[in-house]
Amino acid sequence: MGMPLPPGVPAPLAEWWQRLVARLIDGVILGVVVYLIIGRIIASAFSTTETVSVLGVSAQVQTVSFTGLLLSAIISVLLYGAYEFFLVSRDGQTIGKKVMKIRIVKLGAPLQGGVDTETLIKRIGVLYGPQILGFNTVLNMIAGIFSLVNVLWPLWDKPLQQAIHDKVAGTVVVKL
């Protein structure tokens, strides 16, 4: 029933929308934690208040220092990467992927089990690495464009429907 599976793929490939919903679920979970840690603790520890006057109206504006922005970017990458690494290394799934009943597998590997360390480092590096550029507005925009292209890539990648991070790591996302 249906089309044959591409070589090395142990189960039908996940739909793009399933991957998106899983990533959104993970993003909400991580976003709350990262916001609480970075937004409340780090940013406030490295911020100053300046008075800005525009057209005769003065306002107090809080700005975060370069050190605070860089530290925030590094900690964000580490938290997102640790979440992905810990969960996917165990059974190939993050919480969002469990909810959506999809799993990351290495091409040619069995459906059961987690993903090996080398593969995960490659995958996480491409997926979350660009966030480290969040300390600079222009670099952050470039990283954002790359990240957008990365997550849209499965829409036109045939037959494996891989994102760029999947291609680098040699993984696919399959339905359970």
Please give the share of the chain, as a percent, with pLDDT higher than 70: 98
CB-count exposure of residue 3 (10 Å: 0-12, 13-18, 19+): exposed
**For the residues of the chain, what is the DSSP string, one character each?**
--SPPPTT--SPBPPHHHHHHHHHHHHHHHHHHHIIIIIIIIHHHTEEEEEEEETTEEEEEEEE-HHHHHHHHHHHHHHHHHHHHHHHHHHS--HHHHHHTEEEEETTS-SSS---HHHHHHHHHHHHGGGGGGGSHHHHHHHHHHHHHHHHGGGT-TTT---HHHHHHTEEEEE-
Q: Does residue 158 surpass a pLDDT of 60? A: yes
The pLDDT confidence band at residue 2, using thresholds 50, 70 and 90, is low
pLDDT of 152 reads 96
Give which of 45, 113, 38, 118 is closest to 78, Cα–Cα. 38
Q: What is the pLDDT of residues 72-120, one digit of tens each?
A: 888 889 999 999 999 999 999 999 999 999 999 999 998 888 999 999 9
pLDDT of 3 reads 66
Q: What is the pLDDT of residues 36-50, one digit of tens each?
A: 877 778 877 888 888
Q: Give the C-alpha separation, 13 to 9, whole Å.
A: 8
| Residue 140 CB neighbour total at 10 angstroms | 17
Q: What angle do CA 118, 123, 125 make, to 5 degrees?
A: 95
Question: pTM (2 decimals)?
Answer: 0.84
Q: Does residue 23 surpass a pLDDT of 60? A: yes
CB-count exposure of residue 135 (10 Å: 0-12, 13-18, 19+): middle
Q: What is the pLDDT of residues 121-143, one digit of tens each?
A: 999 999 999 988 888 889 999 99
pLDDT of 169 reads 97
